[in-house]
Structure 1
Amino acid sequence: MASRGNLRRLTEMAESRIDYVQCDGLAAMKIIKHCHEESTRNMEVAQGALLGLVVQNRLEITNCFPFPKNDELMEEEEYQLAVMRRLRRVNVDHFHVGWYQSADVGNFLSPSLLESQYHYQTSIEESVVVIYDTAKSSRGFLTIKAYRLTPQAIMMYKDDEFTPDALRTLKMGYESLFVEIPVIIKNSNLTNIMMSELEEMIPEEEGTKYLDLGTASVLENQLRCMMDRVDELNQEAIKFNRYQHMVIRQQQDKNRLLAKRAQENAARAAKDEPPLPDDDINRAMRPIAVPLRLIPMIAAGQINTYSQHISQFCAQSLAKLYITQSLQSAKESKSSN
């Protein structure tokens, strides 16, 4: 269980040395390209390494490269070291500052993500995980977010103490696992000039899909994913309730045996015989292992993420429907005149 000293130490720790993440436009485009290729080709999660450097209170991401797939012969660690050695030879930033992963409508919270970020952040203090949402970006909402583990989450994962008592002591919930770091995409002046020229070359009738009403499939996918997470959280709640019932039953059995042993010792005392010890009862009634609350915390955090996405998505969809209804009414009144 987390001690008072650990709790005091956590309150004195700084949340993060990094105030914001600055990502070069080229690195962001490489992340976007890799994530969309993996999602359209074989529906797998895209992952890769982030390269850059720390300047004062910001983390600059200047380059990135994808991780090798499982079917490739080279080991992942060997591949990363080889790529960084080659980048160093051509005078490119080769310092490892984190990793990135693709997501589908905010579906990124998982035990594997927590474990990977824990290993990154304990070995590289300034490292972040960048999440790119392919589904939302394909609907016209560019979503690139950076996260870091909180000091509480690092300490609890290190001690493997995601027990109810430890969570209650630290007053920790799913919202305390990660902290979001603002992301800024920066381009060079020449890139901004080229983008301005390309924007002028796009015809006015193209690139305007802001009133796209084909949103039923996206909303259905989000609701289906949230139902799956609710079912998972319900199963975890059933397991915890079963554990509580087992603890109560065990305590009742132990009290009954202790009462019986007390009666036996009273009878032996009347006969001037030595009392029987209670050690055998304590050995027979061993404590039941407390189920860890990490999986329920992740499921609750994922449900919260889906709820926020659905709320935002429904508000935008309703606004589009009201706009199209007004346009349709104006068109009908104009045609009738």
Structure 2
Amino acid sequence: MATSMAATIAASMPISQAPAAAAQTTYETIPPSMSKVIDIEAEIPITTVQLDALVVSKIVKHGSEVQNASPALGLLIGIDFDGTLEISNSFPLPNVSDDDEKSNKSLARYQASMLRALKEVQADDAIVGFYQSNSLGAFFKQSLLELQAIHQEKIRQGGIVIVHDVIQASHGNPSFHAFRLTKTFLQAFRAGKFNTQGLVEHNLTFSSIVEEIPVRIRTNPLAGAFLSTLTTPAPISSSSLSSSSHVTKSSSGTLPPAFSSLDLDARSLTANLSSVLDALDDYKTEEGNLAYLQRQIAREKLKAEQHIQRRREENALRVSQGLAPLPEDDVSRLFKIPPEPSRLESTLLLGQIDAYSKSLAHGASVNLVRTYSANGGNSACA
């Protein structure tokens, strides 16, 4: 998602207004027991993110529907309370394939209408961040960082992003992580300096772009009752027991054996390894482009330095002849030295390689244990 769409989404958000002056508005005294909990000025930092079970189910559903297309993207609704960001609702954003002005405006209208509908039913309508699906833990995307950085000034507490791994969810292991941008990255983003000097000045690497916040999931009795209907086997009626002579009382209440935990899942490892190789190829291509631009800059600088050297020699000769020296400030007009390219994309690709590698190491270690278990079972049978 490009910067223009991120800017359009950010512009449609309600701007958090500062509290009015004390001379115009009077407030009731906050009880001492609640003075440390009610954070009007958003001074208590967020230390925990709490996801409601409804939000988890919505994100998982949205991610499973678009996992073969572009990543699922949506907004999070909630409130921060005593250092905990309580996310009570969410809604998905439509997938905009064309990054034109008409599509961005329609996306902004959709977002505004959803917030207005939530406000009409007296539900939470404060945007606290957004979520995005990913695969194998690789969420380092430039569009994701730009979207969160633009929302930084409009969302209370700066906003967070919930990353959901659809590959883990397909294996029955939903994975949710909460991240927020670090202060060093925001300083570099505002300055617009992601060249080599900017990365060194801000001590910025792929590991210092975002910081992770602990996540916990809050369930309720209704969600637990619904999940129990999905996991608990249906009781066998007495008529079926009488008609099926092979079903005994001892086996009617037990679950059939499952061997899914011993599945080596070679396809997942193959896909993970392919992702690592693709990320390495992308990084090599990006580094080749940067090297080409660096050579162009070096050639232009060399031409400019040679021109200055010749001009100085010519001016020395003119001065010795009693003539006025020629100006030396026309170098910028004669030679257009391009600025140093941004290294943000290559830094993010390193983060993707690191995420893919960690996921590959975890999957390989689990499959190694399963292989030993399978071999142990075969030797015991032998």
Give the TM-score range, shorter chain.
0.7 to 0.9
What is residue 26 of structure 1 aligned with on the other side?
A: 54
- Of 146, 156, 161, which residue of structure 2 is paired with 1:125? 156
**1:262 correspondence with 2:312:** yes
What is residue 339 of structure 2 aligned with on the other side?
A: 289
**1:162 correspondence with 2:212:** no
Alignment partner of 1:279: what SS?
coil
What is residue 59 of structure 1 aligned with on the other side?
A: 85
**CA 1:251 to 1:15, structure 2 compared with 1: closer, same or farther past 3 Å?**
farther
What is residue 10 of structure 1 aligned with on the other side?
A: none
How many aligned residue pairs are there?
316
* Matches for 1:6-155 after TM superposition, within 5 Å: 17-39=45-67, 43-70=69-96, 75-126=106-157, 127-155=159-187
**1:212 correspondence with 2:263:** yes
TM-score for both structures, normalised by structure 2? 0.75
Q: Find the aligned partners of 2:114 and 2:316 in 1 and give their Cα distance.
A: 78
- Of 303, 312, 336, which residue of structure 2 is paired with 1:253? 303
- Structure having the higher helix fraction is 1
Q: Find the aligned partners of 1:119 and 1:248 in 2 and give their Cα distance.
A: 34
Q: Find the aligned partners of 1:190 and 1:282 in 2 and give their Cα distance.
A: 70
State the AA in 2 paired with 1:267.
L
**CA 1:256 to 1:77, structure 2 compared with 1: closer, same or farther past 3 Å?**
closer
**CA 1:129 to 1:282, structure 2 compared with 1: closer, same or farther past 3 Å?**
closer
For residues 233-280 of structure 1, give each alpha carbon's deviation from its aligned partner in whole angstroms, at most 9, with x where no partner exists.
112222232333334333433343333333323333332323333223
1:51–1:93 contact (8 Å) kept in structure 2: yes
State the AA in 2 paired with 1:331.
C
User: How far off its partner does 1:180 sit?
Assistant: 1.3
1:22–1:185 contact (8 Å) kept in structure 2: yes
Alignment partner of 1:28: what SS?
helix
2:188–2:202 contact (8 Å) kept in structure 1: no
TM-score for both structures, normalised by structure 1? 0.84
1:15–1:150 contact (8 Å) kept in structure 2: no
Q: Find the aligned partners of 1:237 and 1:16 in 2 and give their Cα distance.
A: 41
Alignment partner of 2:156: what SS?
coil
**CA 1:49 to 1:275, structure 2 compared with 1: closer, same or farther past 3 Å?**
closer
State the AA in 1 paired with 2:190.
K
State the AA in 2 paired with 1:179.
E
Alignment partner of 1:122: what SS?
coil
Structure 1 residues without counterparts, runs of 5 or longer: 1-13, 333-337
Q: Find the aligned partners of 1:325 and 1:85 in 2 and give their Cα distance.
A: 60
Q: Find the aligned partners of 1:75 and 1:248 in 2 and give their Cα distance.
A: 45
Q: Find the aligned partners of 2:293 and 2:190 in 1 and give their Cα distance.
A: 24
What is residue 7 of structure 1 aligned with on the other side?
A: none
Alignment partner of 1:75: what SS?
helix
State the AA in 2 paired with 1:90.
V
User: How far off its partner does 1:166 sit?
Assistant: 1.1
**1:302 correspondence with 2:352:** yes
State the AA in 2 paired with 1:50.
L
Q: Find the aligned partners of 1:267 and 1:47 in 2 and give their Cα distance.
A: 67
Q: Find the aligned partners of 1:325 and 1:94 in 2 and give their Cα distance.
A: 55
Alignment partner of 1:17: what SS?
coil
**CA 1:331 to 1:288, structure 2 compared with 1: closer, same or farther past 3 Å?**
same
2:73–2:93 contact (8 Å) kept in structure 1: yes
1:15–1:151 contact (8 Å) kept in structure 2: no
Q: What is the RMSD of the two structures over their aligned residues, measured on CA atoms?
A: 2.8
User: How far off its partner does 1:291 sit?
Assistant: 0.2
**CA 1:99 to 1:256, structure 2 compared with 1: closer, same or farther past 3 Å?**
closer
* Matches for 1:305-320 after TM superposition, within 5 Å: 305-320=355-370
**CA 1:153 to 1:125, structure 2 compared with 1: closer, same or farther past 3 Å?**
farther
User: How far off its partner does 1:163 sit?
Assistant: 1.5
User: How far off its partner does 1:195 sit?
Assistant: 5.0
User: How far off its partner does 1:80 sit?
Assistant: 2.5
What is residue 243 of structure 1 aligned with on the other side?
A: 293
